[in-house]
């Protein structure tokens, strides 16, 4: 197999999970912007996700967010999983929500009130029940918990409460299930965030065991952070469970992946390839909200951005790079990476898509499909999905 053939074969195996909430209405902290044709139910979100997968060929799973994607009935989630399967999809990570309730003003699992902590833990355990019903492998946890003022609460006690809750959820996980712990260095807790960085997440996951893994959200770092170093280290330790791909130009993190710094995305993907992370054990997930752009095309473009960064990473000449590094030739080593990054991989990806039996230009194919016009015409009435719904 030639080098190009090997790259193409690897690209055909890539899987990128899209988030159900990206198909709904969203906005800034000041305003949620409604768009015509937005899904009104979890089923309609899956319909849109199926279009993304049809045009890209590499988006076969959809993450759910509870209670945003809550369904009723004893068999509701099993039926939702069947609905997804009928559309060529599977349900992916189950995302908990312990940040959109008045009770969580001072935190959820780290709240000083034991009754609130119990409520939050019950929700997390409910999410594991949903995983059982949907066949999902991953439970993704993100906590907005933290404090705004010095002295507001005991920092160490909050870590103890967090550890206690995580241990209870970990104990509930079934065979083949995992816990993915996300971090964010600030917001909405501006003095001390309870899971502010990869080290905190790693420390908790290490203590819990092999079913606990760290999520690297590419927008959840201070400016100038070397994210690829974090990725390399977590891979080395066997603790990188997933990515939440997105971008940010300053504080928020919900812009399209690759929009702010495509070179950084390439560097991250190179470390994934170099460190053996290009496997199903590391989930590639989008975590984005499309506030002013059309949602489905933005998700298609995001998937394509990840594909392009991956293709460039796979094209790095590993032997040439190792030789330059071992000889101490700084410029030659850097040039090897830059040669791969500066390669136009769009024709290569077009070939891969044609070989997969799909249109080589997913954006143009979606525009021609008529899906946007169809959902605008048909999705009239009801309540559109969005933040808090």
pLDDT in tens, 219-276: 999 999 999 999 999 999 999 999 999 999 988 889 999 999 999 999 999 999 999 9
Q: How far apart, in Å, are the Cα atoms of 326 and each of 198, 246, 320, 321, 330?
A: 30, 34, 10, 9, 10
CA distance 236 to 230: 10
**pLDDT for the residue numbered 53:** 98
Tell me whether strands 90-95 and 146-147 are parallel, antiparallel or unpaired.
unpaired
Q: 310 phi and psi, to 5 degrees?
A: -65, -45
Q: Name every residue whose Cβ is closer than 8 Å to that of residue 261 and which is 6 or more positions away in sequence.
A: 247
Tokens 């991989």 belong to which residue? 345
DSSP characters over 224-252: T--HHHHHHHHHHTT-EEEEEE-B-SSS-
Query: What pLDDT is stored for residue 389 in this prediction?
Result: 52
* pLDDT by 10s per residue, the chain, length 389: 568 899 999 999 999 999 999 999 998 878 898 999 999 999 999 999 999 999 999 999 999 999 999 999 989 999 999 999 999 999 999 999 999 999 999 999 999 999 999 999 999 999 999 999 999 999 999 999 999 999 999 999 999 999 999 999 999 999 999 999 999 999 899 999 999 999 999 999 999 999 999 999 999 999 999 999 999 999 999 999 999 999 999 888 899 999 999 999 999 999 999 999 999 999 999 999 999 999 999 999 999 999 999 999 999 999 999 999 999 999 999 999 999 999 999 999 999 999 999 999 999 999 999 999 999 999 999 999 997 65
Helix, strand, or coil here: 56?
Answer: helix
Q: Which pLDDT score, from 0 to 100, does residue 206 have?
A: 98
Full DSSP string of 113-137: SHHHHHHHHHHHHHHHHHHHHHT--
Omega prior to 188 cis, within 30 of 0: yes
Residue 306, pLDDT score: 98
33-88 pLDDT, tens per residue? 899 999 999 999 999 999 999 999 999 999 999 999 999 998 999 999 999 999 99
Give the C-alpha separation, 323 to 127, whole Å. Answer: 49
What are the structural domains, with CATH classification, of the chain? 11-314+359-378 (3.20.20.150)
């Amino acid at each position: 197999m030639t080098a190009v053939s090997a790259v193409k074969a690897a690209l055909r195996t890539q899987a990128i999970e899209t988030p159900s909430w990206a198909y709904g209405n969203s906005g800034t902290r000041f305003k949620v912007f409604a768009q015509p044709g937005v899904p009104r139910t979890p089923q309609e979100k899956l319909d849109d996700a199926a279009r993304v997968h049809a045009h890209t060929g590499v988006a076969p799973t959809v993450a759910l967010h509870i209670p945003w994607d809550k369904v009723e009935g004893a068999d509701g989630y099993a039926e939702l999983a069947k609905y997804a399967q009928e559309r060529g999809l599977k349900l992916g990570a189950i995302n908990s929500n312990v940040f959109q309730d008045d009770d969580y003003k001072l935190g959820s699992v780290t709240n000083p009130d034991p009754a609130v902590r119990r409520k939050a833990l019950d929700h997390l355990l409910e999410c594991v029940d949903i995983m059982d019903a949907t066949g999902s492998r991953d439970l993704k946890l993100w906590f907005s918990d933290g404090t705004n003022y010095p002295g507001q609460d005991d920092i160490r006690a909050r870590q103890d409460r967090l550890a206690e809750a995580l241990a209870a959820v970990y104990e509930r996980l079934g065979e083949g299930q995992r816990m993915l712990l996300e971090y964010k260095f600030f917001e909405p807790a501006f003095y001390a965030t309870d899971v502010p960085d990869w080290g905190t997440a790693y420390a908790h996951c290490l203590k819990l065991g092999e079913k606990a893994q760290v999520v690297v959200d590419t927008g959840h770092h201070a400016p100038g952070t070397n994210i690829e170093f974090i990725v390399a280290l977590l891979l080395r330790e066997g603790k990188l469970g997933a990515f939440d791909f997105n971008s940010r130009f300053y504080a928020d993190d919900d812009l399209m992946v690759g929009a702010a710094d495509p070179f950084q995305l390439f560097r991250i993907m190179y470390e994934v390839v170099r460190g053996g992370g290009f496997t199903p054990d590391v989930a590639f997930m989008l975590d984005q909200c499309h506030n002013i752009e059309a949602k489905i095309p933005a998700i298609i473009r995001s998937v394509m951005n990840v594909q392009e960064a991956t293709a460039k990473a796979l094209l790095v000449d590993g032997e040439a790079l190792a030789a330059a590094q071992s000889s101490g030739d700084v410029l030659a080593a850097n040039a090897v990476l830059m040669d791969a990054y500066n390669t136009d991989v769009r024709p290569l990806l077009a070939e891969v898509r044609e070989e997969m039996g799909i249109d080589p230009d997913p954006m143009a194919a979606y525009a021609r499909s008529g899906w946007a016009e169809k959902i605008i015409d048909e999705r009239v009435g009801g309540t559109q999905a969005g933040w808090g719904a």
